[in-house]
A and B are shown apart, each in its own frame.
Chain A
Amino acid sequence: GENVEQHPSTLSVQEGDSAVIKCTYSDSASNYFPWYKQELGKRPQLIIDIRSNVGEKKDQRIAVTLNKTAKHFSLHITETQPEDSAVYFCAARTVNYGGSQGNLIFGKGTKLSVKP
């Protein structure tokens, strides 16, 4: 089945710097890759997603890139702010035999700390 590896597990940056979180997946049939942000004690919230027919997607200070050949995708946060501090999860959606959409398989998370 699908396996999603996420790195690094912790990341500390200075306010204003960029942060990059990388994920790799194992199932080449996976076709949807969302990123979730989870602040301490709160629920995960979708911040950006990308589908396998797109190589890059941007939304203000966050962007996601996808390399289908290498089976990896990355989250880029520019001009980081203290409120970006949270745990970020990547995920990949599997495709079932027959082509129907499967489950979301999550990475283990990256704890991002942005120091003012």
Chain B
Amino acid sequence: DSGVTQTPKHLITATGQRVTLRCSPRSGDLSVYWYQQSLDQGLQFLIQYYNGEERAKGNILERFSAQQFPDLHSELNLSSLELGDSALYFCASSVAPGDLYEQYFGPGTRLTVT
């Protein structure tokens, strides 16, 4: 158990819908990262937050947005869902940005869009 929690574990929804994925980082970690893992694209970095502020952006679609709240939990919002959005979404956390600090991954949320 990495100490990072994600809810829900599984999510099944229809195309066009909107969902929110939630992540609670390890105690003491200020940085949160979101990744998308699909069979054909592997692990893709989406976005990073540090202490409530957006720190870095990767291949995140405009239909997706995220935020980190004052209590440091983070939410990833996916809207106008398409079949291709079906994937495993991981959240990771670290004490701070940078490679001196290991990223600990949560268990993931499996999203299925039908």
* Residue positions of A touching B, CB distance < 8 A: 31-32, 34, 42-46, 49, 51, 89, 91, 93, 101-109
- Which B residues lie within 8 Å of A89 (CB)? 42-43
Give the interface size class of chain B: 10 to 19
When chains A and B are docked, how far (Å) is the Cα of A44 from the Cα of B2? 10
Prevailing SS type, chain B contact patch:
loop
Sample of 12 further A-B pairs with CB below 8 A, known A44-B105, A103-B45, A103-B58: A31-B99, A43-B105, A43-B106, A43-B108, A45-B2, A46-B103, A49-B99, A91-B43, A101-B98, A104-B45, A104-B103, A106-B43
Residues of B within 8 A of A (CB): 2, 41-45, 48, 56, 58, 90, 97-99, 102-103, 105-108
Contact A44 B43, CB 8 Å, known A102-B56, A103-B48, A103-B56: yes
How many residue pairs link A and B with beta carbons under 8 A? The number is 43
Q: How far is the CB of A34 from chain B (nearest CB, A)?
A: 7
Those 10 A-B pairs whose CB atoms lie nearest each other, nearest first = A32-B99, A43-B105, A108-B42, A106-B43, A103-B45, A44-B105, A101-B98, A103-B58, A46-B102, A103-B56
Taking the nearest CB of chain B, how far is it from the CB of A58, in angstroms? 18
